[in-house]
Amino acid sequence: MKKEKLIPGKKYLRKRKTTYAGKEVEAESWIECMQVTPVGAVFWSGDDLLKLTDEQIEKEVREVE
């Protein structure tokens, strides 16, 4: 997804590869856009703030209707 299309306050689906129990798996989570920054965006996920770069946003963040 292009960073320019992000809307603060809206939820997006994040799909990424991660290692779990020694195996590479695809993980999904819902994240809420808090703020768009010059180098990416800040998202809220559960109890954590995530800072994603423009490249990470394009690869991992999807809008689900």
Give yes or no for residue 65 having a pLDDT over 90: no
Asked if residues 15 and 48 have their Cβ atoms less than 8 Å apart, the reply is no
The pLDDT tens digits of the residues spanning 3-50 come to 999 999 999 999 999 998 999 999 999 999 999 999 999 999 988 999
Q: What HEC string does 35-65 produce? A: EEECCEEEEEECCEEEEEEHHHHHHHEECCC
> Global pTM?
0.87
- List phi, psi (to 5°) of 5: -90, -5
